[in-house]
A and B are shown apart, each in its own frame.
Chain A
Amino acid sequence: MAERLVSMRGLSCHFPAAEAGVKLAAVDAVDLDIYAGEILGLVGESGSGKSTLGRMLAGLQQPSAGTLRFHGESDAGRARISSVQMVFQDSYASLNPRRRIIDSLMEPLGVARVSTRDKLSKAAKWLERVGLSRDAGERFPHELSGGQRQRVGIARAFIAEPRLVVCDEAVSALDVSVQAQIINLLQDIQRDSGTAIVFIAHDLAVVRSLADRTAVMYLGEIVELGSSAQVFSRPLHPYTRNLLAAHPEAELNSQGRHRRKVAPAQERRLPLSNDSGCRYAPRCSLAKPFCLRTPPALAVSEAGSEVACHRLREIEQYLASRAAKAHDDESSIL
């Protein structure tokens, strides 16, 4: 097992809610480890708390409870700046419009106390690494295309050799042809540098193509966590299953038309600190009365992933019997 880089225990971020005495639990008691050199995907619908979790990792949001520990160094102040970097969704808003690209690129190095000449050569090297010409460094953000600006955002995040980069919807605003370029670029850089990446996205297919492990969040909590292969090809939590079924795959099926089968979405609910039971239960087709009373904890599934569902064993049994039946059917045809 790789070295543990970050440990979160009971990590929460609560905001004041409209009602007195109740808090909005944007992130609620999350236990999660991030290992050195891995790409961890964080998926979920809007309001699931995935961005708030990313912002806490980058030190942009104070946790209201729980611990966030960076191994091997103190998690406070200066050390955090060089060890965690972030790539944002809006590449234009995240670059200073009055600074040349090269100056924005050199800024993270300022914290690391490097001479100007070294900074310049390093910035030039990174421009090339992310596929930009040297003269792009002399330009201003508005003179670049969205894809080029996101390349700058990536170069800026990696230039100070951080141990962790948080990418919050870093490719969602890009056209697919550019998005694919950026995904491949991120993967290459990650492989060379060994930096861990937390990749936050709502697009499941993008996460699948990048992440080694994936955590699925729902209303502030992690409901399923496992290797991407496991989570995407054998999802267990009813929410994960519903989310995957809702993904529009860009293929036609044998009947010609691809139709998604989705449990009806309900009125958007906010996670509150006084919620009882499983937060997904009101939407869940498998919910039993006790699901509404007792919150489920993450339990290890037979395949080794972690799933927060009271009915995990029954789901596993059902899937196993279905797989066995499919196997029998196949054998009978053969």
Chain B
Amino acid sequence: MSLLEVENLSLHIGALHALRGVSFSLDAGECRALVGESGCGKSLTAMSLLGLTPPGAVFHADAFTLAGEVLPAQGSPAWRRHRGADIAMIFQNPMTALNPTQTVGAQLAESFVLHRNLGRREAMTAAVALLERLAIPQPAQRAAQYPFEFSGGMLQRVMIAMAVACRPKLLIADEPTTALDVTVQAEVLTLLAELQREQGTALLFITHDLGVVAEIADSVTVMYAGESVESGSVAQIFNRTAHPYSAALRAAVPSLKQDRRPEGIVGSPPDLRREVTGCAFAPRCRQRMAICEDTVPEFQCGEGQRVRCWRWHPDHPLRWREAENG
């Protein structure tokens, strides 16, 4: 039994079928990367896990549990008990996620007051201690400063501190390092990995950057057009890529070490306001078969790996040939 179970998550927003079957699980202390391109539904998946889907959205899931407990209906006031305490979130842009008119210390202290019932003074002491833990020089003076007085990397460290302050079971990070310079990005990732290990938090890391995935993730779920199309350990995803979309995504990333041209993926993702027939990736897939065009593939299990592709169906002969070839 995993800490977080999400099975066949579906979300309609008006005519838009934004999520069409997202499945993954997450254990305590595990870091799972949710990978995909814009519009694939990775951020909406995160928002569902905070109960923050847009009003009027129609939500369905076969399983949606945290530590065995079924999570409340979207938008329900019962979420207040989970948000910030059990499930915390780190956003991409710390500048817009923090209140510009409050000091950083006050904002850090707030979560201690709300979730740990500390008094204001104790909460402030805890906030300063946390800044010190983040290796921010002169933590007491820094706590009295406003967000604009911090650099982007330092603010993102503050956001991480705020998110882990109440030792959540699940931490969701939505593109937390995308806006940062690479040297700063490396530091922030190291900090995140350290805190996660220390506290045994489960981390759902949303990103489009496969380089960051290779560095931080234990397991990976690749999403395309509102569906999970491949799930597996980081080694499986990188060394035994199964789904043609995952493979195409990898070929599109330019390399610093090898002198090769990145390959684009021809075409564009389907319009999710119309019904998708067959495999959503089929029109762009080089390995498309007749069945792909009219029948939706299921998210099949294979040795520890799940793939939504007809070529990986148990009855498909190619699957075994490829597995033998490694």
Binding site for B on A (CB under 8 A): 45-46, 145-147, 175-184, 187, 202-206, 208-209, 229, 232, 242-244, 246-252, 256-260, 262-265, 267-268
Contacts and interface: CB of A to CB of B under 8 A. Distances in A.
A147 B268 CA distance: 10
B182 interface: yes
B249 interface: yes
A248 B209 contact: yes
Given A145-B268, A176-B208, A250 B182 contact: no
Nearest to B264: A181
B235 A175 contact: no
B253 A252 contact: no
A265 B264 CA distance: 33
A247 B239 contact: no
B151 A247 contact: no
Contacts of B238: 250-252
5 contacts: A176-B253, A182-B264, A205-B255, A249-B214, A257-B234
A250 B183 contact: no
Q: Which of B182, B187, B248, B268 gathers most chain A CB within 10 Å?
A: B182
B260 A250 contact: no
Nearest to B268: A145
Interface in B207-246: 208-215, 234-235, 238-239
A45 B181 contact: yes
Interface in B26-70: 37-38
B252 interface: yes
A120 B265 CA distance: 30
Contacts, number: 135
B75 interface: no
Contacts of B214: 248-252, 257-258
B254 interface: yes
Contacts of B261: 183-184, 187, 209
A229 B259 contact: yes
B286 to A, nearest CB: 13
B38 A252 contact: no
B187 A264 contact: yes
A63 B266 CA distance: 42
B185 interface: yes
Interface string B168-211: 00000000000001111111000000000000000000001111
Contact of B239 (A178, A250, A252): A252
A246 B183 contact: yes
Contacts of A146: 38
Contacts of B213: 250
Q: Which of A178, A179, A182, A251 gathers most chain B CB within 10 Å?
A: A251
A22 B74 CA distance: 55
Given A180-B251, A183-B262, A265-B187, 6 more contacts: A45-B182, A177-B248, A177-B249, A177-B264, A202-B181, A251-B255
A270 B234 CA distance: 39
B256 A249 contact: yes
A267 B142 CA distance: 13
Nearest to B37: A175
Contacts of A229: 259
Nearest to A183: B262
Contact of B182 (A179, A243, A258): A243
Contacts of B234: 252, 256-257
A145 B267 CA distance: 12
Contacts of A244: 256
Complex A-B, nearest 9 residue pairs according to Cβ-Cβ distance, in ascending order: A248-B211, A181-B264, A250-B210, A180-B262, A177-B265, A175-B37, A180-B264, A205-B254, A45-B181
